[in-house]
Amino acid sequence: SAEIISGTEMRAAILEELRGEVAAIKEKYDTVPGLVTILVGENPASVSYVTLKVKTALGLGFHEIQDNQPEDITEDELLALIDKYNNDPSIHGILVQLPLPKHIDEEKVITAINPDKDVDGFHPVNLGRMVLGDKDGFLPCTPAGIQEMIVRSGTETSGAEVVVVGRSNIVGKPISIMMGQKGVGANSTVTMVHTRTKNLEEHCKRADILIVAAGVPNLVKPEWIKPGSTVIDVGVNRIGTAPSGKALLSGDVEFDKAKEIAGKITPVPGGVGPMTIAMLMKNTVASAWRHLGAE
Ligand code: NAD
């Protein structure tokens, strides 16, 4: 049976490391990392994501501003708000929770964030830096979390066949580029597959590391998994509601059978999800070091 890679445990370890860095920043600069989370409207999923981010930031001793705005805020008002935080020296990270209401142009808003405070790593400048392998940028949090999990699980990436299912701008595309870069936790041979791919199964079967970010429950069958491989299941699918009212979640991989074949596998929940939050905190701490060091 496969080793279960626990994102929850890895997150705890990363947050502990970050606590040490927050203390070192305080010692050296007499201040703490500052994060603002901007939430527009009351979309329940967004509210719960933001709540968890705020709680985690406060737990690390960050200066945290939770800036909640009404659903009907205008685009200009939101852009002015971002400008305010761009110019606030106590803020090192700006997170705008997506999706935004339809009357607001998401791309315009993301592009308005100072790239050096874009701790979500969604700004085109940071995506460009990521492609160039420039370490001055911020990696998008979910792909960064996936790579961190692979490294911490002790999986060899150099020369490994990596297959990524999905080509979205927030997961599949960036993780494909990152795993193919030169460097630690990368140097892999990457195949990115998607809805138009022929023989999805044949590609998956070759993967030493299989990363699945499709958003389709049970898409990946146990017999598609190479024995002993590492399987990272990014999918978060609501498949029902428990009697308690809590959402029942499943990944994109048939976990119960897949874990008898894979060497290492991530669960859902408790896998990639917690890592995403940890990487947001890590980016914010990195941003604080850079801003304070440059002052
Ligand atoms: P998306 O819908 O934007 O992209 C899905 C991709 O999968 C597409 O590129 C599509 O080509 C591919 N795909 C879909 N069905 C396929 C099929 N049958 N065969 C082959 N390829 C197929 O989704 P996304 O934003 O990349 O998210 C993917 C999943 O990851 C979702 O379940 C999402 O909830 C989850 N997710 C989790 C986290 C986290 O932190 N754990 C973060 C982001 C997304």
Whether residue 210 sits in one domain with residue 252: yes
CB neighbourhood size of 281 (10 A) = 27
Whether residue 146 sits in one domain with residue 110: no
Closest to 258 in 3D by CA, of 216, 199, 218:
218
Residue 295 domain-assigned (yes or no): no
Q: Would you state the pLDDT for residue 269?
A: 95
Residue 157 domain-assigned (yes or no): yes
For ligand 1, say whether the CB of 219 is within 6 Å of any of its atoms.
yes
DSSP SS3 for 118: coil
The ipTM of this complex is 0.99
Whether residue 255 sits in one domain with residue 168: yes
Locus of tokens 């996936």: 146
Residue with the smallest CA separation from ligand 1 atom 17 is: 195
Residue with the smallest CA separation from ligand 1 atom 11 is: 194
Q: Would you state the pLDDT for residue 294?
A: 80
Considering 79, 99, 114, which residue would you say is the last residue of a domain?
114
Whether residue 101 sits in one domain with residue 202: no
Residue 288 domain-assigned (yes or no): no
Calculate how far, in angstroms, residue 279's C-alpha sits from the geometric centre of ligand 1. Answer: 19
Q: Which residues of 96-110 are buried (b: 16+ CB within 10 A; e: fewer)?
A: bbeebeeebeeeebb
- Tell me which residue range forms the domain holding 86: 28-114
CATH number at residue 192: 3.40.50.720
Active site annotation includes 147: no
Whether residue 151 sits in one domain with residue 110: no
For ligand 1, say whether the CB of 290 is within 6 Å of any of its atoms.
no
Residue 139 or residue 45, greater confidence: 139
Whether residue 188 sits in one domain with residue 100: no
Whether residue 169 sits in one domain with residue 248: yes
What angle is formed at CA 34 by the lines to CA 32 and CA 38, rounded to 5 degrees? Answer: 160
Whether residue 148 sits in one domain with residue 105: no
pLDDT digits (tens, 9 = 90+) for 37-74: 999 999 999 999 999 999 999 999 999 999 999 999 99
Considering 96, 114, 132, which residue would you say is the last residue of a domain?
114
Residue with the smallest CA separation from ligand 1 atom 16 is: 195
Whether residue 108 sits in one domain with residue 64: yes
pLDDT digits (tens, 9 = 90+) for 195-230: 999 999 999 999 999 999 999 999 999 999 999 999
Q: Which two tokens stand for residue 149?
A: 């999990």
How many domains does the chain contain in total?
Answer: 2
Q: Determine the average pLDDT of the residues in 145-165.
A: 98
Residue 4 domain-assigned (yes or no): no
Confidence of residue 22 (pLDDT cuts 50, 70, 90): very high
Residue 199 domain-assigned (yes or no): yes
Residue 130 domain-assigned (yes or no): no
Q: Which residues of 228-250 are buried (b: 16+ CB within 10 A; e: fewer)?
A: ebbbbbbbbbeeeeeeeeeeebb
CATH number at residue 37: 3.40.50.10860
